[in-house]
């Protein structure tokens, strides 16, 4: 139930940090920041989808809205 | 058992978060947020069973649905406020967490006003 998402995010995080360091060493500082931003946005997309699912379920269970 | 799975995945994710906290803190926060959401979703299924029992008992004791709905709403608000405040505190944003808790308390108070009014009316009627 969504556990694979956890490891996807961890993977993306580790990859991005490696890319960031590698690109910084290669002297392409701006590319490194762009790459980090791209990874951050991708992970944010997944997390927000899951958050929407959570809030919908809570509204269903507790009849909030 | 369910709890063993949850604790196990909790430890794994804590290690991953620690590993990413140093150079990429934003991914660490998103990872811990994802795990809290997943655990919350697992627990919500269990809570639904308990709430169903409340409804059945309320019907037997023919308590009016208004009380139970308000109670349910308050529990829901408390759950979500606690969830949001904890995540913000974990991310280091104590001020935002405090504001979320404050908003949660106010909304619970707003929810409780009809019942408080009802209780006071009943008491006044009881007095000679």
Q: How many CB pairs under 8 A join A and B?
A: 94
A9 and B CB contact within 8 Å? yes
A51 and B CB contact within 8 Å? yes
On whether the CB atoms of residues B26 and A42 are closer than 8 A, the answer is no
**Tens digit of pLDDT for each residue in A1-50?**
678 999 999 999 999 999 999 999 999 899 999 999 999 999 999 999 99
- Residue partners of A23: CB distance under 8 A and separation at least 6: A29, A31, A32, A35
CB–CB of B30 and A21 under 8 A? no
pLDDT at B90 over 70: yes
Q: Where are the alpha helices (DSSP H) in chain B?
A: 2-21, 25-60, 65-90, 94-126
Over pLDDT 70: what percentage of chain A? 98
CB–CB of B13 and A12 under 8 A? no
CB–CB of A39 and B16 under 8 A? no
**Mean pLDDT across B66-91:** 91
On whether the CB atoms of residues B68 and B54 are closer than 8 A, the answer is yes
B38 and A CB contact within 8 Å? yes
* Predicted pLDDT at A45: 95
B41: nearest CA partner in chain A: A54
pLDDT at B53 over 70: yes
pLDDT at B1 over 90: no
Residue A64 structure tokens: 């909030």
* Predicted pLDDT at B117: 93
Shortest CB distance from A62 goes to which of B20, B34, B72? B72
CB–CB of A64 and B77 under 8 A? yes
A12 and B CB contact within 8 Å? yes
Neighbours of B30 (CB within 10 A): 24
On whether the CB atoms of residues A43 and A9 are closer than 8 A, the answer is yes
- Residue partners of B10: CB distance under 8 A and separation at least 6: B35, B39
Q: How many residues are recorded in chain B?
A: 128
């Amino acid at each position: 139930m969504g556990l694979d998402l956890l490891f996807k995010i961890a993977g993306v995080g580790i990859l991005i940090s490696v890319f960031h360091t590698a690109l910084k060493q290669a002297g392409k500082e701006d590319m490194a920041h762009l790459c980090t931003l791209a990874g951050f946005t991708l992970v944010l997309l997944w997390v927000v989808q899951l958050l929407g699912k959570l809030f919908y379920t809570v509204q269903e269970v507790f009849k909030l809205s | 058992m369910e709890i063993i799975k949850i604790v196990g995945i909790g430890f794994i994710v804590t290690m991953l978060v620690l590993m990413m906290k140093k150079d990429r803190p934003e991914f660490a926060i998103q990872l811990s947020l994802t795990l809290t959401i997943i655990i919350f979703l697992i627990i919500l299924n269990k809570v639904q069973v308990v709430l169903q029992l409340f409804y059945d008992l309320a019907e037997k004791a023919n308590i009016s649905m208004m009380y139970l709905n308000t109670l349910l709403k308050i529990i829901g608000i408390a759950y979500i406020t606690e969830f949001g405040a904890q995540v913000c505190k974990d991310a280091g944003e104590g001020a935002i967490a405090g504001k979320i808790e404050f908003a949660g308390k106010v909304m619970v108070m707003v929810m409780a006003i009809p019942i408080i009014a009802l209780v006071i009316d009943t008491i006044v009627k009881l007095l000679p």
